[in-house]
Chains A and B, each alone.
Chain A
Amino acid sequence: EAGVAQSPRYKIIEKRQSVAFWCNPISGHATLYWYQQILGQGPKLLIQFQNNGVVDDSQLPKDRFSAERLKGVDSTLKIQPAKLEDSAVYLCASSADRGYGYTFGSGTRLTVV
């Protein structure tokens, strides 16, 4: 089966600019997650969707980050405006059952200069 697709792979922007990331999960996976992974650290959950509803967004910096999952399939994560500390890899993952067997995409490496 096809894996989790993410784009773009790399993005370099200046601080205060906006950026958007796209994720297409594995077909049929109801649960979709966005994680932020800062260099040298483990992934940190930003937001979790179940179909097109938000299950948990408690660690999403809502003053600058937003995410949506229209029609319960693809998802986009947006940062506006970006800060230097947002430089990280943004990982999208999906699973058929919540909490089990995550499949991750290759991530988007964001550099804010």
Chain B
Amino acid sequence: TQLLEQSPQFLSIQEGENLTVYCNSSSVFSSLQWYRQEPGEGPVLLVTVVTGGEVKKLKRLTFQFGDARKDSSLHITAAQPGDTGLYLCAGADARRAGNMLTFGGGTRLMVKP
């Protein structure tokens, strides 16, 4: 069973602060996705990273895929209250039937004004 560990599980910060969320595994993934989920809604895809060492930026969010494709990080600069939510990483393994995604346990972020 492939496991994805996310840390921290909970994070409460003030508006304007920076933060980093980590997603780690002992398994290699062919790709890794980050989702954001708000209460009462399904997860919404933020980004997909495919290449080891890849860095993608989405406005104030920076995503990095580890060189060995076993880990990833999400860095948010100058967090805003609108960033509040549950951040989920999910890894796909092309060698497995269906290339299905395995999700981490999530990081619950609260940004206080």
Contact = CB atoms under 8 A, between A and B. Distances in A.
B103 A43 contact: yes
B97 A93 contact: no
Contacts, number: 71
A33 B34 CA distance: 17
Interface residues of B, number: 27
Interface string A87-113: 000010100001111111111010000
Contact of A99 (B30, B45, B103): B30
A43 B100 contact: no
A100 B100 contact: no
Interface in B65-113: 88, 90, 92, 94, 97-106
A34 to B, nearest CB: 11
A42 B100 CA distance: 15
A91 to B, nearest CB: 5
B94 to A, nearest CB: 7
B44 interface: yes
B43 interface: yes
Interface of B: 4, 6, 30-31, 33, 35, 40-45, 48, 88, 90, 92, 94, 97-106
